[in-house]
Structure 1
Amino acid sequence: MNNQRKWVILYFIAFLIMIAVNYLSGSNIGSIAKNKQAIIQPAGFAFAIWGLIYVLILIWLIKLWLMRSRDKEVVSRLKYLPIINFILNSVWIIVYTQQWFLISVIVIIALLYNIAQMYVILSSYRGFNRFPISIYFGWTTVATIVNIFSLAINYHVKTIFGLTELSWTIIALILATMIGVFIAISFKDWLYPLVLIWPFYGIYIENSNHYLSVDIILITTSFILFVNAVIIVWKNFIRDRL
């Protein structure tokens, strides 16, 4: 058995642990998130994307197990990163459901950094290798921001630098959009900005027109992300035709 296949076996073991932890504890995440809910909290249905992410990662792991020449190269470059990712994901579920919000923020930032590392490595590959990670990366970007807001709400923080939660929500949405545009342009990735639209839609539905300024920002930023994705698709199409 070659080293690449041994790595993939470890990927599967860590992945199954993550799924088991999610099954045992994940159902509590929604109820905890609704307690002292932040403005930027998406509606509950938005979290269904985790199911899609897990299914796509499983398909990706099966693809790596088949060990085509390019997949061997992918595994050789990733090495232990997916294992760390699945462990961090499991730890985050545990600490968040225990309402250890400060630790959960630290863990999810580490998770986001880990996904970013995997994403950069996989960005040089076309096709399905980057597809699940793009969705995972996009969703976790927004989830990290939401987690930070949950921490502030839990510690009863009303203002930071004189700005209220509403002001910081608008800033965070604009920042997330800027990140989405940067990632899309830098890595020619049309999927990442589209993924951000999903939690934005969840935030829009959850707020139910309570904050007109947030609604306007959500609609505007979603439009920007969509146009950006279309431009990237068009540029990729032209590049492939040349």
Structure 2
Amino acid sequence: MPRTFTAILAFILAALFAISPAFVPDFGGFNPDQFPVPQVDPAVQPAGYAFAIWGPIYLWLIIGMGFGLWKRREDAAWHPMRVALIPSLAVGAIWLAVAVASPVWAAVLIWIMLITVLIALFRSPVDDKWFAALPLGLYAGWLSAASCVSLGLLAAGYGYTDGTTAAIAAILLALVIASGVQSQLGRAPSYGFAVIWALVAVVVQNIATNTTVAALAAGGALALMVPTFKAWRSAQ
């Protein structure tokens, strides 16, 4: 695709992604009855306040892609990142509408979003990190947690395992992905921050009801601080 076209398309899709909640205003998470085994306050899901991170994600993506359109339309260093990011933003723009209808398809789509944005993140330019690597890192980090949460919800919601086991498996998977990505990508500490944010919210969700899950999430957050801090140091 021509570079200017991808710059325009990435900006438009970032804006559509950001306004998509306005078209699905009633979505506040999966309805417990969307699963054969109703998921009421599932252990795998972060506390509700954590989802406020979508505000900074939306805004930062718009600012980043807006800067890219304004200043880096023909920049060869930006083009591979945009090509990979466009599918993630396009799927993200319809994700809420799909989630209302089907948790299974929502899980499939969120993994597509994650894989494509991770490719984009690794392709992000070394320069302009405040407009490229850092906003993509925050987005990818939250999706790394959310995609694992989606698998945990499906595992418990379809009766494959109990809620605690599903939460433990999801947290461990998220930690494997996050530690691998953050250890390899020194210029985007925002990635690790987003995963830590999610893990702390899992602690809050479970601290009074499920100490096993809360302890694992807390330990994972502490462990992930090491590569995140190293990434922050290298990004300075």
Q: Is TM (by shorter chain) over 0.5?
A: yes
**Paired AA for residue 44 in structure 1:** G
| SS in structure 2 at match of 1:28 | coil
Aligned residues: percent identity?
20
Of 79-88 and 227-236, deviating more is 227-236
Q: How does 1:135-150 map to 2 (within 5 A)?
A: 135-150=138-153
Cα distance between partner residues in 2 of 1:79 and 1:194 = 23
State the match for 1:115 in structure 2. Answer: 117
Q: Residue 31 of structure 1: CA displacement?
A: 6.0
Gaps of 5+ in 1: 238-242
CA apart distance, 1:26: 5.0
1:182 is aligned, of 180, 187, 198, to: 180
Quick check: 1:62 aligned with 2:66? yes
- In structure 1, the partner of 2:105 is 103
Quote the residue 2:81 is aligned against: 78
Alignment of 1:165-204 (within 5 A): 165-188=163-186, 189-204=188-203
CA deviation profile, 1:127-146 (whole Å, cap 9, x unmatched): 22200010101000111111
Conserved 8 A contact 2:91-2:113: yes
Provide the C-alpha distance between the structure 1 equivalents of 2:100 and 2:66, rounded to a whole number of angstroms: 30
Contact 1:105 1:148 in 2 (8 A): yes
Farther off after superposition, 51-60 or 219-228: 219-228
Query: 1:91–1:107: 8 Å Cα contact kept in structure 2?
Result: no
Bigger CA drift: 148-157 or 49-58?
Answer: 148-157
- Distance, in Å, in 1 between the alignment partners of 2:65 and 2:71 is 10
Is the alpha carbon distance of 1:25 and 1:181 closer, same or farther for their aligned partners in structure 2, counting shifts above 3 Å? same
Question: TM-score by structure 1 length?
Answer: 0.83
Q: Which residue of 2 aligns with 1:30?
A: 29
Task: Report if aligned partners of 2:204, 2:214 keep a CA contact under 8 Å in 1.
Answer: no
Q: Secondary structure at the match of 1:66?
A: helix
**Ranges in structure 2 where 5+ consecutive residues have no aligned partner:** none
The number of residues matched between the two structures is 229
The whole-number CA distance in structure 2 between the counterparts of 1:133 and 1:151 is: 27
Question: Given that residues 26 and 93 in structure 1 are in contact (C-alpha distance below 8 angstroms), is that contact kept between their aligned partners in structure 2?
Answer: no
Q: Which amino acid counterpart does residue 169 of structure 1 have in structure 2?
A: A
Partner of 1:87: 90
Measure the CA separation in 2 of the matches of 1:234 and 1:86. Answer: 29
| Residue aligning to 2:220 | 221
Q: Structure 1 110/68 Cα, relative in aligned 2: closer, same or farther at 3 Å?
A: closer
The letter for the 1-side match of 2:189 is W
Partners of 1:73 and 1:137 in 2: CA distance: 22
The 8 Å contact of residues 123 and 187 in structure 1, kept in 2 or not, is answered as: no
- Aligned residue identity for 2:218: I
CA-based RMSD of the aligned residues comes to: 2.5
Question: Secondary structure of 1:30's match?
Answer: coil
Write the mapping of 1:4-43 to structure 2, written as runs, cut at 5 A: 4-30=3-29, 32=31, 36-37=39-40, 38-43=42-47
Higher gyration radius (CA):
1
Deviation (angstroms), 1:9: 1.9
Structure 1 residues 107-116 or 118-127, which shifts more?
A: 118-127
Q: Distance in 1 between matches of 2:226 and 2:76?
A: 34
> Structure 2 CA distance, aligned partners of 1:20 and 1:64?
20
Q: Judging changes above 3 Å, is the alpha-carbon distance between structure 1 residues 4 and 55 closer, same or farther for their aligned structure 2 residues? A: same
Cα shift readout 1:92-129 (whole Å, capped 9, x = no counterpart):
2111022x111111111111111111011116446222
Change (3 A) 1:234 1:75: closer
Residue in structure 1 matched with residue 133 of structure 2 by the alignment? 130
